[in-house]
A and B are shown apart, each in its own frame.
Chain A
Amino acid sequence: MTVAAKPTMIEFRDVHKYYGDYHALRGITATIRAGEFFSLLGPSGCGKTTLLRTIAGFEEISSGAVMIDGRNMEGVPANKRPTNMVFQSYAIFPHLTVAENVGFGLRRARLPKEELTRRVGEALEMVGLRGLGARAAHALSGGQRQRVALARALILKPKVLLLDEPLSALDKKMREQMQVELIKLQRQVGITFILVTHDQEEALVMSDRIAVMFEGEIAQLADPETLYRRPTSRKVADFIGTMNFLSARILREDAQGIEVEAQGLGRMLLDASQAPGAASGTGTTAGFRPETATILFEGQKAEREAMGTIDEVVYFGDMTYYDVRLDGTEAPIRISMRNVFGRPVLDIGARARIAWSPGAVVLFR
């Protein structure tokens, strides 16, 4: 089943949140589908954690509605919602053992002892902590704490699992490993995961769909590929990866497409889908990703070429980044090239021919 065909799990209807005069959430309207791995991505202070906490019930909203599985959550406290949360600090109860932590949510169910032990064992098994139940919580490593937090939240079989920057406290290696494990876990349990993160790479790797947030609003909500290839605003484009911007002018717009003249690149004809954003009134810009252009070497030819001077060279081992000042432009653009064996690294000040493709250009108006 494709994601699009799945029913709605969470719906935000024009959600606003004020802290005094501070407008933290500014009219959020969005739906999250059942079984989806969904990310809220944005810089710190953009409201992503606040939005997550309105789902959990830790933040009351000022107006609008949060629906979970078709039910309006107004007045429903956190302990009565079908959601569970993995906290940024993991919030492992330090005075309890691992098993007591994991089984904490089952206390109210008053299960028989064997049943409780069995379910805790299953949950520990699921997160790869089999046999660690008797361990004191404070004797765990960062990665283990996170697994305990996951098991504790999943044991109640919530409809939605909320993850508040769960990987930010881990080192790089551990983080990458946990990303993969979280994806697998989500597929295994099949429930909706909502992840808050400020790390664009993490969001791209893990999510089915991502909502990019700035200043209390969702700037764009899309799947990772669309978000990367067709950002609707310069801000989104800049936040997710790197993009080169060149000021541009629209010459003609009709059923055939949009004819644009961009500084340094010249004229091109773009498809309407290459201008996905609404007009922002800040002027027209053409953008392309560093890896969609290449520097041409002796004897190579391309359909579209531009000339420039190399401004800076940064060597990364597998890649080399070139900052190139296109003829007739002020600011250099960046081109990233894979370092193929036998290909020379160019020097600063050298002239270079650049190959680019109109299909990779995104237009912002």
Chain B
Amino acid sequence: MHSGGEMEQETRWGRFRRSEAAQGYLMVGTPALYAILLLGAPLATIILYSFLTDGYLEIIRDFTFANYREAWTNELYRSVMLRSLWVAAAVTAVTVLLAFPVAYFVSFHVAPDRKSLWLFLITIPFWTSYLIRVFLWKVILGFNGVVNSGLMGLGIIDEPLTFILYNVNAVVITLAHAYAPFAILPIFVALEKIDRSLLEAGQDLGESKVMTFWRVTLPLAMPGVIASVLIVFIPTIGDYVTPALVGGPEGRMVANLIQLQYLKLDNYPLGSAIAVSAMSIVTVVSLIFLFLNRRFLRGPK
């Protein structure tokens, strides 16, 4: 009798569990199905394509590594990919370094009831049209643009500066401006989480303000810094609009290359191989930073 009861408990428990899981699946089912069909399957398709051969107007089902060999050895493609990496790294470094003091200021020097107002002010430019902002930089940096006309009007230069538009510099400036608010938020959140008594403890133990910052605040803010590095790096390396509009021929980045292969040259396998390569670069860089983050959380020596 008793053991029979036990058996029944197990199956009933099983039923209950199934029903909880079932409710969960019922809820998550639609969004999950959407993501599988419109994201999972397409990603799998381009990974598959990247190993196939391009024929004229059709894709030949021959398995090959040739696309990757081409993407990684052809001087043109390789230089574009390296440039993307370099530009994204430069934008990330500039953005995060400039953003840190702002996040620090809002977290430590602004009255608590004013903080959300400051964050609001900082985020507004981010929500204004990205294309319009890129457009503005083109106008500002252009041959007849605001900078040149202003500087010439003031008599500082005699003829327009040409090194500020249609090159990598213009891409870096524009992207750094576009992603500035994005970099501030994660750092701010990390700083907000720091228990203020830790800082007092640091100073109480005889550290100067600077050393307290260096030994207590900065390590504790590191997860936020790393989050903001990723949040800036990932979209910038794949950005299409900025290099296309203000980069000129020598400012092209990997997204432009992918677009070229797909829409202009119709070479899906090679385009896919470049896209998969770009994805891999993003993944590797992200993993490196996540690993660094884990090291930081465990505490520096």
Contact = CB atoms under 8 A, between A and B. Distances in A.
Interface of A: 14, 16, 18-20, 60, 62-63
B64 interface: no
B8 interface: yes
Nearest to A19: B13
A191 to B, nearest CB: 30
A314 to B, nearest CB: 32
Contact of A60 (B5, B6, B10, B16): B16
A63 B8 contact: yes
B27 to A, nearest CB: 19
A316 to B, nearest CB: 33
20 contacts: A14-B5, A16-B5, A16-B9, A18-B9, A18-B10, A18-B13, A19-B13, A20-B13, A20-B17, A60-B12, A60-B16, A62-B8, A62-B9, A62-B12, A62-B13, A63-B5, A63-B6, A63-B8, A63-B9, A63-B12
A17 to B, nearest CB: 9
A216 to B, nearest CB: 13
Contacts of A63: 5-6, 8-9, 12
Given A14-B5, A63-B6, 12 more contacts: A16-B9, A18-B9, A18-B13, A19-B13, A20-B17, A60-B12, A62-B8, A62-B9, A62-B12, A63-B5, A63-B8, A63-B9
Nearest to B17: A20
A26 to B, nearest CB: 11
Contacts of A62: 8-9, 12-13
B9 to A, nearest CB: 4
A95 B10 CA distance: 41
B291 to A, nearest CB: 33
Contacts of A16: 5, 9
Contacts of A18: 9-10, 13
Q: Which of A14, A19, A62 has the most CB of B within 10 A?
A: A62
A62 B17 CA distance: 12
Interface in B102-152: none
A63 B17 CA distance: 15
A16 B16 CA distance: 14
A128 to B, nearest CB: 34
The 3 A-B pairs at the shortest CB distance, nearest first, are namely A62-B9, A63-B9, A18-B13
Nearest to B13: A18
B60 to A, nearest CB: 52
Contacts of B10: 18
A18 B16 CA distance: 10
Interface in B12-50: 12-13, 16-17
A18 B17 CA distance: 11
A347 B5 CA distance: 61
Q: Which of B8, B13, B17 has the most CB of A within 10 A?
A: B13
A14 B6 CA distance: 12
A63 B10 CA distance: 9
A24 B48 CA distance: 50
A13 B8 CA distance: 16
B146 to A, nearest CB: 50
A19 B8 CA distance: 14
A60 B14 CA distance: 12
A256 B91 CA distance: 93
A16 B5 CA distance: 9
Nearest to A16: B9
Contacts of B17: 20
